[in-house]
Amino acid sequence: MPETQLLQPDEDGINRAAELLRTGKLVAIPTETVYGLAGDATRDVCVARIFDAKRRPRFNPLIVHLPDIDAARRIADFDDAAEALAGAFWPGALTLVLPLKSSAGIAPLVTAGLATVAVRAPGHPLARDLLTRANRPIAAPSANPAGRISPTTAQHVLDGLDGRIAAVLDGGPCETGIESTIVATGPAPRLLRPGGIPAEALEACLGAPLAMPDTDAGIASPGQMRSHYAPGAALRLDADTARPGEVLLGFGEMESDLNLSRAGDMVEAAANLFGHLRALDTEGASIAVAPIPETGLGRAINDRLRRAAAPRD
């Protein structure tokens, strides 16, 4: 990949960043929390590139960034609590997990196939300006390689991702420096992650306590899977061919019902994963899946397939 451009926070820099995003490239952008690795949330392949650039070994759902509540209402259903919280704390360091609208046009890889979507309107003026000009929902996890500390300056971003992304928009140091607070609304609003806005402030706004994250549940506990999309169909991994009654999800040059990537391209395979699983996941179906190499995004693909294939309760 060509060298990563450092864009200045002026008219030219913001326009260039917006243009890169509109043409499917990745740009690290300043927000008030930390720098985000931004990509077009409506295109699976752009989202796959985010995971690839970060070398993330897992497809966890990403936060979708929007300029304001009107834009967020177009992709997610706001209940009264969500309206109240967004009204009080947006733009700002609060992420809301809400039901995804069927008409949202959000790539399934953004939500890891879930029926909910995490949305945020960041308060940083450059981020807001850029999101308006990009004119589409933008997925953005923190702009650091997986397992490393979140970046709070453009230089931090370059330290970790130089040469792996198209550009960094330099907005100086982030003001808050920690990630957004995440709340899932619904009948009993829950705190999913503490962050830039204290839980007490949210509770004061709601006039009710938030349910707290379930810290007893072990990270690796299979119960965690329940929060993730898993096909209803049984899955058999490392299959060379389909057995009678099975449909085959292929990889590479082979006969199959659907193929993740005939060219064996991991970014393409990751982009297709959730859509293809869903397409093959019909009543009573059994899905055989061709072997996927454990390289690059193949690790994240296999992680998700193994969890989908694991026995369920």
Look at residues 99, 132, 120 and name the one whose alpha carbon lies nearest to residue 36. Answer: 120
Query: How far is 142 from 283, CA to CA, in rounded Å?
Result: 38
With H, G, I as helix, E, B as strand and everything else as coil, classify residue 12.
helix
Closest distance between Mg ion and the C-beta of residue 150, in Å? 5
Shortest distance, CB of residue 192 to Mg ion, whole angstroms?
14
* Segment interacting with Mg ion (CB under 5 A) among 88-96, 140-148, 226-234, 236-244: 140-148
Residue 33 binding Mg ion, by CB under 5 A: no
- Choose the stretch contacting Mg ion; rule: CB under 5 A; options: 1-9, 141-149, 227-235, 260-268: 141-149
CB of 237 to ligand AMP, least distance (A): 24
Whole-angstrom Cα distance, residue 98 to residue 117?
6
Helix (H, G, I), strand (E, B) or coil at 103: coil
142 versus 153: smaller Cβ distance to Mg ion: 142
- Phi/psi region, residue 177 (left: phi>0; alpha: psi -120 to 50; beta: rest), is left
Q: Which does 63 bind (CB under 5 to 8 A by kind): Mg ion, ligand AMP, none?
A: ligand AMP
Q: What is the DSSP letter of 310?
A: S
Do the beta carbons of residue 205 and residue 89 sit within 8 Å?
yes
| Rounded Cα gap, residues 191 and 127, in angstroms | 25
**Residue 35 token pair:** 């720098």
Pick between residue 16 and residue 156 the one whose CB is nearest to ligand AMP: 156
Residues near ligand AMP (CB under 6 A): 60-63, 97, 111, 114, 116-118, 141-142, 179, 182, 192-193
Q: Smaller CB distance to ligand AMP: residue 116 or 256? A: 116
From the list Mg ion, ligand AMP, none, pick the one residue 60 interacts with, judged by a Cβ distance below 5 to 8 Å according to partner type.
ligand AMP
Number of residues that bind Mg ion (CB under 5 A): 1
Whole-angstrom distance, CA of residue 82 vs CA of residue 98: 8
18 binds, among Mg ion, ligand AMP, none (CB under 5 to 8 A by kind): none
Nearer to ligand AMP, 180 or 272 (CB): 180
Q: How far is the CB of 2 from ligand AMP (least distance, A)?
A: 26
CB of 111 to ligand AMP, least distance (A): 5
142 binds Mg ion per the rule CB under 5 A: yes
- Identify which of residues 60 and 282 has a Cβ nearer to ligand AMP in the complex: 60
* Whole-angstrom distance, CA of residue 225 vs CA of residue 307: 7
Q: How far is residue 313 from each of residues 59, 225, 228, 233, measured CA to CA in Å? A: 22, 10, 14, 14
Measured from the Cβ of residue 211, the count of other Cβ atoms closer than 10 Å reads 14
Here the tokens at position 235 are 């899955």
3-state secondary structure 264-288: CCHHHHHHHHHHHHHHHCCCCCEEE
When CB distances are held under 5 to 8 angstroms depending on the partner's kind, the choice from Mg ion, ligand AMP, none that residue 62 binds is ligand AMP
Binding site for Mg ion (CB under 5 A): 142
